[in-house]
Amino acid sequence: MKDIIAADLMTKEDVTALILIAKKAKKLTWEGIAETIGMSPVYTHSACMGMNAFPMDKAEALVAALDLPSEAAEVLAESPTKVFAQTVPTDPCIYRFYEIVGVYGPTLKALIHEKFGDGIMSAIDFDMSVERIENPKGDRVEVKMSGKYLQYNAW
């Protein structure tokens, strides 16, 4: 009964806090955590932050790797409720992605429409990677995104 009550009361925000505490205490990286559980760093971080759900076996592997309470696995496997803030974030790194979409969003849309037709790139059937590219003028951040093309339906 205690496990049922604890799992029912634990939220995704609670589990995220426990993950961040354990990550810091164990001096881990997202790449290292992802490798341990056999997932990509992008998806691992997103699910740890409550924006995606882990398959139960990966949730259990994460709980074991970080020594989290067993109830956390059930919470990590729950489907998320994605709520996005309407205000522009003030964190400089995150803000730059808003800036990129603000400046290049219409260009990306136009090029996708030219190459594929009237549709979108899925953010559900989606892969992303982040790499460091050495450059004598200053290292570069390479973000690769790949999403399934979804044509708009006329109805």
Can you tell me the mean pLDDT for 13-29? 96
Question: What is the structure's pLDDT at 121?
Answer: 94
Do 21 and 61 belong together in one domain? Answer: yes
Q: For position 101, which CATH number holds?
A: 3.30.1160.10
Domain count, the chain: 2
Do 60 and 100 belong together in one domain? Answer: no
| 87: in domain | no
Do 116 and 72 belong together in one domain? Answer: no
Q: For position 61, which CATH number holds?
A: 1.10.260.40
| 125: in domain | yes
Active-site residue list: 96, 99, 122
Do 46 and 101 belong together in one domain? Answer: no
Domain span holding position 118: 92-151
Radius of gyration of the chain (CA): 19
- Residue 4 pLDDT level (bands cut at 50, 70, 90): very low
Question: What is the structure's pLDDT at 147?
Answer: 96
* DSSP per residue, 55-102: -HHHHHHHHHHHT--THHHHHHHSPP-----SSPP-SHHHHHHHHHHH
Do 11 and 43 belong together in one domain? Answer: yes
- Residue 1 pLDDT level (bands cut at 50, 70, 90): very low
* DSSP per residue, 102-144: HHHHHHHHHHHHHHH-SEEEEEEEEEEEEEEE--TTS-EEEEE
Do 8 and 57 belong together in one domain? Answer: yes
Do 126 and 68 belong together in one domain? Answer: no
Do 66 and 6 belong together in one domain? Answer: yes
pLDDT, tens digit (0-9, with 9 covering 90-100), for 77-121: 999 887 677 788 899 999 999 899 888 888 899 899 999 999 999
